[in-house]
Structure 1
Amino acid sequence: MTRRYPVLKKKVAERDSKIAKKLIQAWDQEHNSEKVLHIYLKNKHLLSHYRYWELMRTVWIICGGVEESDVFRNLMKSKRPHRYYFSTPEESKLLRELPSKVTVYRAQDGSIADGLSWTLSKDYAELYKEQFGKAYLFHREVNRESIFAYINRNLEEEIIIL
Structure 2
Amino acid sequence: KIVRAWDIEKDKNKVLSIFQKENTSLSDERYWEILRTVWILCGSVDNVNLFRHYFASKRPQKHYFSTPEEAKRLREMPDEFKVYRATNAATLTEDSGISWTLSYEYAVWYRDAYHKKFLQERLIDKPQVFALIERNKEEEIIIL
Instruction: Give me the TM-score of the superposition, normalised by structure 1.
Output: 0.86
Q: What are the residue-to-residue correspondences of 1:76-155 with 2, within 5 Å?
A: 76-111=55-90, 112-155=94-137
Q: CA deviation at 1:147?
A: 0.3
CA distance in 2, matches of 1:114, 1:150: 18
The count of residues paired between Structure 1 and Structure 2 equals: 141
Letter matched to residue 26 of structure 2: L
Q: CA-atom RMSD, angstroms?
A: 0.6
Give ranges in structure 2 of 5+ residues lacking alignment. none
CA distance in 2, matches of 1:26, 1:110: 32
Which digits, 9 at most, give the CA deviation of each residue in 1:45-89, with x for residues without a partner? 000000000000000000001111000000000000001110000
Give identity over the alignment, percent: 50
Q: What are the residue-to-residue correspondences of 1:23-102 with 2, within 5 Å?
A: 23-102=2-81
Instruction: Give me the TM-score of the superposition, normalised by structure 2.
Output: 0.96
- Higher-Rg member (1/2): 1
CA distance in 1, matches of 2:129, 2:34: 19
The answer to whether the 8 A contact 1:113-1:138 is kept is: no
CA distance in 2, matches of 1:90, 1:40: 26
Q: CA deviation at 1:110?
A: 2.0
Runs of 4+ in 1 over 6 A off after TM superposition: none
Q: CA deviation at 1:145?
A: 1.2
Which digits, 9 at most, give the CA deviation of each residue in 1:64-119, with x for residues without a partner? 01111000000000000001110000100010011110100000112223311000
Letter matched to residue 140 of structure 1: R
CA distance in 2, matches of 1:88, 1:125: 23
